[in-house]
Every structure is written in C-alpha cells, then in structure tokens.
C-alpha cells in the first residue's frame, strides 16, 4: 500500500504527460492487445481442422469488417457518451468471444464469432486515442502515442508467443480462455479511470443513427489514405506468415510477431519524440520506405535468419508509423469531433488489413506453392511505395506553404517599416 501510494504521488506530481490515468490506460491496452492477438497464429490451423481451409483468408477479413463498420458508431459514441464506456465495451467483446470459441465447433459458428469479435478493435482503440489526446499536451502527442504504443506492442508481441505456447502445451480451449481472462483484467482497470469528455450523455439507441457527415471526418483524409495503403501489408502478414514459418521449419508460429514487435518497441523507445521534433510527414515518409524494404526482404527470404531480419524491418516501420499517424490525425482533428477523426483513421486500418487478408487468402488458393505468398508481399510493397509517393508530395506541399508564409511575413514586416 505504501509503495502504491508513493507511486501514485510521484505520478501525480511528475510531468503532465505521465499521469496515473495514462499509466492505467497503458496497462489496459497491453492486456487488450494481448487478448485478441494471442490466438492469431493458431487460428488458420484451427479453422483447417474444422474443415474450413478455403476460408482461412476470412479469419482476419471478417474481424476487420465489423471493426471497420463499427468505427463511425464508436466515434460518435466516444464524442457523446464518453471515452471510458466505449473502451470498456471493446474489452467486454474480447472477453465474451474468447470464452465462446471452444463451444462453437462448426465453420459457420467460428466465422460468425470472428465477425462479432471485430467489434472489440472497432471500439476500444478509437476511444483510447481520443482519451490520450484529451490528457496530453498537443506538443507531446507523438511521444504519448509512442509510449502508449510500447504497451500495446508488448501485448501484441507477447500475446502470440503465449498463445502458441498455451495451445501447444495445453490445448486450444485453454488458449481461448486465457485470452478471455486477459480481456477481463483490462475491463477491471478501465473501470478505475476518470472520464475526460466534458459533458457525457447517457447512452440512447438513437445515437446509433448516423448522419452523412458523422461517418467520415474530412480533416482525417490524408492519414486515412496513408494508413489504408500501409495496413494492407498487415493483413497479408497476419494471413500468410504462419505458413511461411512452417515452411522454414519454425515450430512456434507466433515468434515472427514477437520479433517484429520487439523491434517496434525499441524504435518507439528511441524515436518516440521524433515526430514532435521533426514533423509527422518526414517520419512517415522514412517509416513507409522501411515498410517497403521489409516486403522485399520477405520475398527473398529462404532461411530463418532472413525471416527474422524481415521481421525486424517490419517492426521498425510500424514502430514509427503507428504513433506518428495517430498524432497526425489528432493534429488535424477538431476537438469536438476528435472521436470521429480517430474512427476515420481506424477505418483505413481495418479496411487495409481486411483487403490484405482477403487478397492473400485468394492468392494462396489460386497461385501454386510459395509464389502466392511472394505475390502477396509484392502487392504490399507496391502499395507502400504508392504511400511513399503521396507522403513525398504532401511533404513538398507543406514545405512550399511554409516557405510562402515566411516570405509573406517578411513582406508585411517591410511594409510596417521593420528591418
């Protein structure tokens, strides 16, 4: 109790960025991300045993479909009912789905549950991003998103390895229930947090009626386009990397996720303040180039060593991408509709992952041998280069506009008689 009170006191009097609520959110995010991520490496083989091999690509696609559909609703509810209730709802969905997987033993039942499970990531991250933007200074958003991302990445890193270990040493059912337990702990933490929305409203079903301007936030269009192109690779990775692991003789299918997430953690630790210091566009430009390189490395991988090198590059790219694109979205958003802006950004994430998963699943079923895997990585690399081109153009326009403003300011100063 004494240690706990001292810790709370230290946080309360420390830098405004690292409040006690911020740390609670970080731990909750760790548990949440570990909960849904721990089952990913084992699901393709599990669905195949149920007789649904041709539906492997839909494991991720269905999950991201409902996640994407729920984003506009979660954005509106986040801006009206509050951040904490939406975060708790997302963790609750993870808890229920993890508990129910062992009892739905048909292909149709499994795919239905995957569809429902997607509501978890369609709600919690939206509210989480808005919550962070509420409690940290605008000049430190990149750093805050990077720190939060450390805990999220740790969950995504340890989750797959824990899931594969539990499934191999115990059973798939125990793994599902472990996932459910992690989500339950996340809910318990969220219930201790203070709401940041100034005037939260009680939930009413009519809030689920969306107007046209409540579905998509135009301010978030640039981050939307960039993330859509980037996240296609995530859908591909989630769908095909376990098969590539097996072909290389790597028994634990979750280790790729562990390696790339550890790389992501290191990058977040070292470069968490980079986008606050140098700007969002330069950091995103570099990180997307690294993403394209990782896809090339995966295409030429023929040994476990190259496999791990590819994972490191992939993790480095997302270690810079994730916090920077989130901070960029917060910068462009209006305070009153911040939840909608975050939802728009996450729609791109879910759409990109879903499209990547479906494309990879189709290529695996229609292109012979490892050529299907290589083709999936090739498409991801091309889309990453398209994002690089777009970011380069935006960066050029930004510099051009800033230069023009400086010239205009100099002209005004001369007219006013200033030297």
pLDDT at 253 (0 to 100): 67
pLDDT at 292 (0 to 100): 94
pLDDT at 12 (0 to 100): 38
Residue 296 reports pLDDT greater than 90: yes
Query: For residue 200, is it within any domain?
Result: no
pLDDT band at 297 (very low <50, low <70, confident <90, very high): very high
Query: For residue 178, is it within any domain?
Result: yes
pLDDT band at 369 (very low <50, low <70, confident <90, very high): low
Query: For residue 3, is it within any domain?
Result: no
Distance CA 270, CA 272 (A): 6
What does the pLDDT look like over 24-61, one tens digit per residue? 888 888 998 888 888 877 777 788 787 777 777 677 77
CB 338 within 8 A of CB 330: yes
pLDDT at 375 (0 to 100): 87
Q: Which of the two residues, 57 and 183, has the higher pLDDT score?
A: 183
pLDDT at 254 (0 to 100): 67
Residue 19 reports pLDDT greater than 60: yes
Distance CA 328, CA 224 (A): 11
Query: For residue 82, is it within any domain?
Result: yes
Mean pLDDT (whole number) for 350-370 = 80
- pTM of the entire predicted model: 0.67
Report the chain's mean pLDDT, rounded to a whole number. Answer: 79
Range of the domain at 264: 10-195+214-415
Q: Which of the two residues, 39 and 5, has the higher pLDDT score?
A: 39
Overall number of domains in the chain = 1
Residue 419 reports pLDDT greater than 80: no
Q: Which of the two residues, 181 and 3, has the higher pLDDT score?
A: 181
Mean pLDDT (whole number) for 10-25 = 62
Structure tokens at 290: 């690294």
pLDDT at 11 (0 to 100): 37
SS (H, E, C) the chain: CHHHHHHHHHHHHCCCCCCHHHHHHHHHHHHHHHHHHCCHHHHHHHHHHCCCHHHCCHHHHHHHHHHHHHHHHHHHHHHHCCHHHHHHHHHHHHHHHHHHHHHCCCHHHHHHHHHHHHHHHHHHHHHHHHHHHHHCCHHHHHHHHHHHHHHHHHHHHHHHHHHHHHHHHCCHHHHHHHHHHHHHHHHHHHCCCCCCCCCCCCCCHHHHCCCHHHCCCHHHHHHHHHHHHHHHHHHHHHHHHHHHHHHCCCCCCCHHHHHHHHHHHHHHHHHCCHHHHHCHHHHHHHHHHHHHHHHHHHHHCCCHHHHHHHHHHHHHHHHHHHHHHHHHHHHHCCHHHHHHHHHHHHHHHHHHHHHHHHHHHHHHHHCCCCHHHHHHHHHHHHHHHHHHHHHHHHHHHHHHHHHHHHHHHHHHHHHCCCC
C-alpha closest to that of 398 among 275, 281, 276, 223: 281
Query: For residue 143, is it within any domain?
Result: yes
Residue 400 reports pLDDT greater than 70: yes
Query: For residue 117, is it within any domain?
Result: yes
C-alpha closest to that of 287 among 330, 323, 332, 241: 323
CB 93 within 8 A of CB 123: yes
pLDDT band at 362 (very low <50, low <70, confident <90, very high): confident
What does the pLDDT look like over 304-353, one tens digit per residue? 888 889 989 998 898 888 878 888 888 887 767 777 787 788 888 878 88
Q: Which of the two residues, 415 and 159, has the higher pLDDT score?
A: 159
Distance CA 113, CA 361 (A): 19
Residue 412 reports pLDDT greater than 60: no
pLDDT band at 146 (very low <50, low <70, confident <90, very high): confident
Distance CA 267, CA 315 (A): 8
pLDDT at 387 (0 to 100): 93
pLDDT at 383 (0 to 100): 94
Residue 173 reports pLDDT greater than 90: no
Please report, for the domain that includes residue 408, its CATH number: 1.20.1250.20
Distance CA 330, CA 337 (A): 10
What is the C-alpha R_g of the chain? 22
Mean pLDDT (whole number) for 90-118 = 86
Structure tokens at 243: 């098969």
CB 176 within 8 A of CB 98: yes
Main-chain phi, psi angles of 197, to 5 degrees: -70, 125
Long-range contacts of 202-208 (CB under 8 A, 24+ apart): 202/81, 203/77, 203/81, 203/85, 207/76, 207/77, 207/80, 207/81, 208/73, 208/76, 208/77
Q: Which of the two residues, 202 and 179, has the higher pLDDT score?
A: 179
Query: For residue 207, is it within any domain?
Result: no
Name the range with the highest mean pLDDT among 104-108, 220-224, 349-353: 220-224
Distance (Å) of CA 302 to CA 79, 309, 368, 370, 377: 49, 12, 17, 11, 14
Main-chain phi, psi angles of 414, to 5 degrees: -65, -40
Query: For residue 142, is it within any domain?
Result: yes
Lowest average pLDDT, out of 105-119, 152-166, 280-294, goes to 152-166
Q: Which of the two residues, 107 and 6, has the higher pLDDT score?
A: 107
Structure tokens at 405: 């403003």
pLDDT at 4 (0 to 100): 39
pLDDT at 288 (0 to 100): 93
């Amino acid at each position: 109790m004494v240690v706990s009170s001292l810790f709370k006191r230290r946080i309360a009097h420390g830098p405004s960025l690292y409040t006690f609520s911020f740390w609670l959110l970080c731990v909750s995010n760790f548990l949440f991300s570990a909960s849904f991520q721990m089952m990913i490496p084992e699901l393709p083989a599990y669905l195949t045993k149920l007789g649904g091999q041709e539906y492997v690509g839909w494991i991720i696609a269905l999950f991201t479909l409902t996640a994407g559909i729920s984003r506009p609703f979660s954005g509106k509810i986040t801006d009206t009912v509050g951040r904490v209730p939406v975060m708790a709802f997302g963790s609750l969905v993870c808890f229920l789905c993890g508990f129910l997987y062992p009892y739905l033993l048909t292909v149709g039942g499994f795919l239905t549950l995957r569809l429902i499970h997607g509501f978890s990531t369609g709600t919690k991250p939206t509210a989480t991003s808005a919550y962070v933007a509420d409690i940290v200074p605008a000049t430190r958003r990149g750093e805050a998103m990077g720190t939060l991302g450390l805990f999220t990445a740790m969950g995504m890193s340890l989750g797959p390895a824990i899931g594969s270990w539990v499934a191999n040493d115990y059973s798939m059912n125990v793994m599902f229930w472990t996932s459910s337990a992690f989500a339950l702990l996340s809910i318990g933490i969220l219930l201790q947090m203070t709401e940041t929305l100034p005037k939260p409203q009680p939930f009413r079903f009519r809030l689920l009626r969306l107007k046209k301007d409540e579905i998509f936030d135009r301010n978030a269009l640039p981050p939307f386009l960039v993330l859509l192109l980037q996240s296609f690779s995530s859908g591909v990775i989630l769908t095909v990397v376990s098969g590539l692991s097996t072909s290389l003789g790597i028994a634990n299918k979750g280790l790729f996720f562990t390696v790339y997430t550890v790389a992501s953690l290191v990058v977040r630790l070292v470069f968490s303040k980079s986008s606050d210091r140098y700007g969002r566009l330069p950091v995103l430009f570099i990180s997307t180039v690294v993403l394209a390189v990782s896809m090339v490395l995966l295409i030429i991988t023929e040994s476990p060593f190259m496999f791990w090198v590819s994972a490191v590059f992939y993790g480095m790219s997302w270690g810079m991408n994730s916090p920077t694109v989130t901070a960029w979205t917060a910068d462009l958003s209006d305070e009153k509709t911040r939840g909608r802006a975050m939802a728009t950004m996450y729609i791109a994430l879910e759409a990109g992952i879903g499209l990547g998963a479906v494309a990879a699943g189709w290529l695996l079923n229609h292109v012979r041998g490892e050529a299907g895997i290589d083709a999936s990585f090739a498409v991801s690399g091309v889309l990453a280069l398209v994002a690089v081109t777009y970011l380069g153009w935006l960066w050029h326009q930004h510099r051009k506009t800033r230069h023009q403003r400086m010239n205009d300011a100099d002209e005004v100063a001369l007219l006013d008689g200033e030297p």
